[in-house]
Amino acid sequence: MWRDHLTEIIVFTFLFLLVSAMGFVAARWRAPKDMAHLDEWGLGGRSFGGWITWFLVGGDLYTAYTFVAVPALMFGAGAAGFFAVPYTIVIYPLVFLVLVRLWSVSHRHGFVTPADFVRNRFDSPVLALLIAITGIVATMPYIALQLVGIEAVLKTMGVTGDNALARHLPIIIAFAILAAYTYQSGLRAPALIAFVKDSLIYIVILVAIVYLPYKLGGWGDIFAAADAKFDASPSPNDGILLNGNNQLQYVTLAFGSALALFLYPHSITGVLASKNRDVIKRNMSALPAYSLLLGLIALLGYMAIAAGVKPLPGASAGSVDNNTVVPLLFDQQFPDWFAGVAYAAIGIGALVPAAIMSIAAANLFTRNIYKEYLKRDASPAQEANVSKITSLVVKVGAVACIVFLDPQFSIDLQLIGGVIILQTLPAVALGLYTRWFHRTGLIVGWVVGMGLGMWMLYQVASPTRKHFGGSAFPLSEFGFDTTKTIYVGIVAVAVNLAVAALVTLALRAAKVEEGVDGTEPDDYFADEGDPRVTPGTERDADSAREPVA
């Protein structure tokens, strides 16, 4: 079967090897001072300007999974899949308000992770540990999902075998190459590759959005075909328009996803690599261009319906893999050479975010677990070395998720990941504006919010799974007489905030020690060139403190 796709395979392989070579060359790009330091390896020297940051953050957020899964959701569920478009628009004003302050305080104190900030702000290594573990756990399935995107392309090209090793060998090789150049070049590798990745995606989508409607009879025929399919569907929630049953889920999922997006460690890593506040401000103004692109990507799902695309079989008996609809659409409608370019865009689109995610998770482990609890006197070189090794372990874990778990389970894990990372909002996002919350109140709120979120997710069923079948929680479980559902993450974080506030009031009334704030008001407005905190002072991020909770 692969011989029928030889041209596509050659083009895909050539572009993949090209960006891999760029990944290795990136170690010498922009003349790093010393790669044996987390500032250089993990944050690119904190020196990225406007264009680099725009491509890096955009490449970080718009992944291979976005390229295949959003159209797949449109193909299978209709208008509900459009939730990804408003949430990527809503997020930018919120980020403009929050992450500019995080950049400033991190620049002043040398913070590498959001947990570094929480440790310093609330004087609590326990709270920082919870933030770090939350970030690592939420990131792991996100990395695995990048492999789902590559696997969909490889399956379409016939580059899979009958046994487990043959089926996953191309992915293992791809991630081995990714691991090698990330280990060597750090964040500079995905930053450099992002230029190629995003350029390819823009070219492919702009060509597709013009050529495919022309070939399929126009937008009227495309929407009519989608409408006819959903009219024949037994599900009451399908359709090219939202109905009363799924509107609340749509709104809460969009808003909750917006709140979660820039709490992910890899999103924060891309922002902290910027050289000054103005770079972040300009990017938050320009990044909505990616949301326009995302809307066009989503419409590929309706085009696949109009083109009569039939998804390839899924991993389990009798199932289908909707993630293959976009690769199949390109395979059927475009010349082989252009389909190869499109496949490369998806494949490279997996490498950039996977690299940033593994670096972000490794930085969390190094700064907030290894240095805090295992070796407090670790040198910068030791930190960088541990982070490099941890990034390799993270990638191995992501590959293991794909090899040993049903890919559909990995997708469900990603839905769980959004609920998990939302529980860091009170400490990280609100903590940038206020220290009103007591550190113990934030810990208790995190525990309650996380517990409630997991319980709610456990109650959600799907056609193929009794538990953890999605993130749409039926309100009837709370005693409401309705068939509507709501996004689990919104409920869980609201309860988290309420509990944190109540416990804070109780602890403040009891005059319980709140710890020392290691930041000052002007830290949140510091810019490039402002002096860093001098090591050894009371405001130093790495100064020794009593390990109070």
Of 110, 57, 539, give the one whose Cα is nearest residue 291: 57
Radius of gyration of the chain, Cα coordinates, nearest whole angstrom: 23
In whole angstroms, what is the distance from residue 291 CA to residue 194 CA? 17
Please report which confidence band the pLDDT of residue 547 belongs to, taking 50, 70 and 90 as the band edges.
Answer: very low
Residue 33: predicted pLDDT? 67
Alpha-helix residue ranges (DSSP H) falling in 110-163: 114-122, 125-156
Alpha-helix residue ranges (DSSP H) falling in 366-483: 380-404, 407-422, 425-428, 439-459
3-state helix, strand, coil in the chain (%, to 5): 70, 5, 25
At 270-304, the pLDDT tens digits run 899 999 999 888 888 877 777 888 888 899 999 99
- Mean pLDDT throughout 109-117? 94
Residue 62: predicted pLDDT? 73
What does the block give as tokens for 296? 């066009």
At 287-346, the pLDDT tens digits run 777 788 888 889 999 999 999 999 887 666 667 778 889 999 999 999 999 999 999 988
Does 422 have pLDDT greater than 70?
Answer: yes
Q: What mean pLDDT, rounded, does the chain reach?
A: 85
At 137-178, the pLDDT tens digits run 998 878 877 877 888 888 888 876 665 566 677 778 888 888
Q: Please give the torsion angle defined by the CA atoms of residues 536, 121, 523 and 53, in that order, rounded to the nearest 10 degrees.
A: 110
Residue 534: predicted pLDDT? 53
Residue 407: predicted pLDDT? 59
Phi, psi at 78, each rounded to 5° = 80, -140
Point out the least confidently predicted range of 243-247, 384-388, 490-494, 495-499. Answer: 243-247
Residue 483: predicted pLDDT? 80
Phi, psi at 48, each rounded to 5° = -75, 135
Residue 135: predicted pLDDT? 94
* 329 neighbors 303 (Cβ within 8 angstroms): yes
In whole angstroms, what is the distance from residue 83 CA to residue 60 CA? 19
In whole angstroms, what is the distance from residue 79 CA to residue 81 CA? 5
C-alpha separations of 248 from 31, 94, 479, 490 in Å: 50, 21, 17, 11
* 362 neighbors 388 (Cβ within 8 angstroms): yes
At 434-450, the pLDDT tens digits run 999 999 999 999 999 99
Residue 134: predicted pLDDT? 95
Does 59 have pLDDT greater than 50?
Answer: yes
Residue 128: predicted pLDDT? 96
DSSP characters for 461-524?
-BTTBSSS--SEEEGGGGT-S---EEEHHHHHHHHHHHHHHHHHHHHHHTT---------GGGG
In whole angstroms, what is the distance from residue 519 CA to residue 410 CA? 39
Residue 246: predicted pLDDT? 82
In whole angstroms, what is the distance from residue 172 CA to residue 158 CA? 16
Contacts of 499 (CB under 8 A, 6+ apart): 441, 444, 445, 448, 449
Residue 409: predicted pLDDT? 58
* 528 neighbors 275 (Cβ within 8 angstroms): yes
- Mean pLDDT throughout 230-241? 80
Residue 318: predicted pLDDT? 64
In the numeric block, the tokens 């000052």 are attached to 520
Residue 296: predicted pLDDT? 87
Please report which confidence band the pLDDT of residue 548 belongs to, taking 50, 70 and 90 as the band edges.
Answer: very low
In whole angstroms, what is the distance from residue 330 CA to residue 83 CA? 24
Helix (H, G, I), strand (E, B) or coil at 323: helix
Residue 32: predicted pLDDT? 66
Contacts of 21 (CB under 8 A, 6+ apart): none
Phi, psi at 238, each rounded to 5° = -85, 150
Residues in the chain: 549
Helix (H, G, I), strand (E, B) or coil at 201: helix
* 545 neighbors 539 (Cβ within 8 angstroms): no
Of 106, 101, 139, give the one whose Cα is nearest residue 39: 106
Residue 157: predicted pLDDT? 87
Is the four-CA dihedral 465, 469, 472, 478 of positive or negative sign? Answer: positive
At 170-226, the pLDDT tens digits run 778 888 888 888 888 888 888 888 888 888 888 998 899 999 999 999 999 999 999
Does 249 have pLDDT greater than 80?
Answer: yes
Is the four-CA dihedral 366, 369, 375, 377 of positive or negative sign? Answer: positive
Please report which confidence band the pLDDT of residue 540 belongs to, taking 50, 70 and 90 as the band edges.
Answer: very low
- Mean pLDDT throughout 266-273? 90
In whole angstroms, what is the distance from residue 391 CA to residue 389 CA? 5
What does the block give as tokens for 500? 């944190």
- Mean pLDDT throughout 238-249? 84
